[in-house]
Amino acid sequence: MRVTFTVNGREETAEDVWEGESLLYVLRERLGLPGSKNACEQGECGSCTVYLDDAPVCACLVAAGQAQGRRVRTVEGLAERGLDPVQEAFVESGAVQCGFCTPGLVVQAHDLLERVERPSDAEIREALAGNLCRCTGYEKILDAVKLAAERKAAAR
């Protein structure tokens, strides 16, 4: 089947997509967007989190055909005009180690900060609960989200 959808503001078409193919596979292998990571393929780790019509989803759980006519925004799409404040904060706070979980965490943190200007620690933990990280111990990730929140609030 052919799947046409908007990815990071550009219309894209994937040809010969089979029915069981995931959105994650199409993004990474067919469209050359490797930012979203393929880790668990079961929606357990959050490494493949992308926006689908402005809602964060695990791209490994979304059939590619479900994206037909819809909008997808990946971690690459957050950096259209340079790094997003969330991406910058992750780098500056040392929240990036191996980097495998980072794209999903960045998208999820970005979504939180679009909804809540200055989230509490509990709100941050709740928002990131579906994203697993084996390297950082999460404290640096919390620091990064707080730093991004401060910067976004100051810029408003």
pLDDT band at 52 (very low <50, low <70, confident <90, very high): very high
Rounded distance between C-alpha atoms, residue 111 and residue 88, angstroms: 15
H-type helices in the chain, by residue range? Answer: 23-25, 75-78, 85-92, 102-115, 121-127, 139-155
Give the pLDDT confidence score for residue 134 in this predicted structure. Answer: 87
85-155: CATH number: 1.10.150.120
As to burial, measured by CB atoms within 10 angstroms (0-12 exposed, 13-18 middle, 19+ buried), residue 16 is exposed
Q: How far apart are the first and last CA of the chain?
A: 44
Domain boundaries, the chain: 3-78, 85-155
* pLDDT over 90 at 136, yes or no: no
Give the pLDDT confidence score for residue 81 in this predicted structure. Answer: 86
Q: What is the pLDDT of residues 147-156, one digit of tens each?
A: 999 999 998 8
* pLDDT over 90 at 113, yes or no: yes
Give the pLDDT confidence score for residue 80 in this predicted structure. Answer: 85
pTM: 0.95
pLDDT band at 34 (very low <50, low <70, confident <90, very high): very high
Decide if domain 3-78 falls under CATH 3.30.70.100.
no
Do 5 and 63 form a contact (C-beta atoms < 8 A)?
Answer: no
